[in-house]
Amino acid sequence: MRQALLELPPTDTGLRDSAFARNRDLPVHRWVPWIAGFSAQFVGDCLTKYLPESRKNNTCILDPFAGVGTTLVEAYARGYDVIGFEINPYAALAAKVKLQASSVRPKALAAHINGFKTFLKQHSSNGARNGNPRSVAPIGFAGRMELFSPKVERKMLLALDYINSIGVPTIRDIFRLAFGSVMVSVSNYTYEPSLTRRCAVDKKPILDAAVDEVISTKLNLILKDIEWLQAEKKKLPNSPDWKVYADSIFSAPAKLKRSAFVDLIITSPPYLNNYHYPRNTRPQLHWLGLASGPGYKAAREHESFGQFWQTVRDLPPVALSFRLPQLQKVIDSIRSLNGGKGNYGGAGWANYAATYFNDTFRFCEVATKLLRPNGVAVIVLGNSIIQGVEVKTDDFFGRIAELCGLAFEDNLMLRKKRTGSSIIQSSVRVDKAAHKTVLYESAVVLRKK
């Protein structure tokens, strides 16, 4: 199955489709559905195209926005040392669990899967003794309706009882990840693609579900993939190292305490589209104990790359921290629009755009420090439309990188038309025949001089 997918032909750029959807059929990558990511095949093509064949040992791959670990897993499975930074605690957990899977004992995991099924069978029936769960639903998750129906919630809490009793941390984390990856599928919410109530998209609520079967099916899939991963690792001539930091890439200089050691960066930062990543993982953050209290404090949305329009719209005018006249002109144009709407008009969105590109500058400074001479960064980006104004984020990203001492080597078109929404005025994103702007996706290639 994996080999068949890898044989899909690259485009004329030498890189295959970057869409994460292809990962759903690949071992390890398929453990967690993730809307914001790219394909393992794309990562593999980048490794082949931008790493010198003469180096293998101590070659380091960095993903500054690691998500659920696609870049890290693919590079690690090929024998490269990997480092990832991911500010979302749930995504960081997923990346960590995938990378530590090569050290898990399959027999021990299988025994716990059987124990889990037995435990839920004994405790989840209405007449079962000691059937009341010890775990309690978190109070921080607040929505227009309850996350789970009462029968489902009781079973999910019992599942947490078993998970919390597991004494082996690596196996407990695997169970937590399996729980998180399927929980929305048995809830009264759905991904369309963002988290929303089932009733809002004409779907019936889930009054009951076979929670034991849903979770154990995911666990058995993970077990199968772990056995595959461990067999693949035995073929490697070396034992690569890995590290995942549940933190922002801006903390990298202080945490790593070294410079000029990264050979290749493969990543995709948040797009300039105000997509609220913490909101999409709200169930997992609260039910896995990764957040406390209401909202998204554990996801640290105020520290996210580019932040969100909601966090900066009410600030005084945000200025660029660097000089780039072409970009300043675009931001001034946005700021001049829809003045009657206050910060809901151009003023608030101009603040958001300026904050995003200020963080781009900060990121490029960090990348310049971490890359070896002649090291490469491949940054997957897409253009954006704000208040009807197209912002060619990819081109500006490359120009900003040049200000930080990196060479803007290439801008490779990956998809000429991508699925997505423009900001505020979606009607401006239509097909080319109507002479309107179309959203696309490209790979910005930067090189350390």
The residue-averaged pLDDT of 68-76 equals 95
pLDDT digits (tens, 9 = 90+) for 434-449: 446 789 999 999 999 9
What pLDDT shows up at residue 108? 98
What pLDDT shows up at residue 280? 85
The residue-averaged pLDDT of 66-80 equals 94
Q: For residue 26, give the H/E element and its range.
A: none
Of the ranges 24-28, 31-35, 129-133, 349-353, the best mean pLDDT one = 349-353
> Quick check: 128 pLDDT over 80?
no
Residues 299 and 277: beta-carbon distance below 8 Å: yes
What pLDDT shows up at residue 345? 93
> Quick check: 144 pLDDT over 90?
no
What single string gives the DSSP state of each residue in 345-388? THHHHHHHHHHHHHHHHHHHHHHHHHEEEEEEEEEEEE-EEETT
Q: Are β-strands 81-85 and 242-245 bridged in parallel, bridged antiparallel, or unpaired?
A: parallel
Question: Which residues face 379 on adjacent strands?
Answer: 267, 444
Q: What is the 3-state secondary structure (H, E, C) of 306-343?
A: CCCHHHHCCCCCCCCCCCCHHHHHHHHHHHCCCHHHHH
- Say which residue, 248 or 433, is predicted with more confidence: 248
The residue-averaged pLDDT of 157-180 equals 98
Separation of alpha carbons 403 and 67, rounded Å: 27
What pLDDT shows up at residue 19? 62
In the chain the domains, ranked by start, together with CATH numbers, are 2-88+243-448 (3.40.50.150), 103-231 (no CATH)
What pLDDT shows up at residue 56? 64
> Quick check: 192 pLDDT over 90?
no
Per residue in 380-399, is it b (16+ CB within 10 Å) or e — as a string? bbbbbbbbbbbbbbbbbbbb
> Quick check: 104 pLDDT over 90?
yes
Residues 64 and 363: beta-carbon distance below 8 Å: yes
- Angle made by CA atoms 202, 204, 205, in degrees to the nearest 5: 130
Residues 324 and 403: beta-carbon distance below 8 Å: yes
The residue-averaged pLDDT of 323-335 equals 97
pLDDT digits (tens, 9 = 90+) for 246-286: 999 999 999 999 999 999 999 999 999 887 777 889 899 99
**Confidence band of 6 (pLDDT split at 50, 70, 90):** very low
Q: For residue 17, give the H/E element and its range.
A: none
Average pLDDT of the residues of the chain: 88
The residue-averaged pLDDT of 354-362 equals 98
pLDDT digits (tens, 9 = 90+) for 280-311: 898 999 999 998 766 666 667 778 898 889 88
Positive or negative CA dihedral for 39, 378, 384, 437?
negative
Q: What are 384's two structure tokens?
A: 């954006």
User: What is the phi-psi region of residue 294: left when phi exceeds 0, alpha when psi lies from -120 to 50, beta otherwise?
Assistant: beta
pLDDT digits (tens, 9 = 90+) for 79-94: 999 999 999 999 999 9
Separation of alpha carbons 359 and 343, rounded Å: 21
Separation of alpha carbons 315 and 300, rounded Å: 18
Q: Lowest mean pLDDT of 282-296, 353-367, 409-423, name the range.
A: 409-423
CA 71 → CA 213, 341, 386, distances in Å? 30, 42, 30
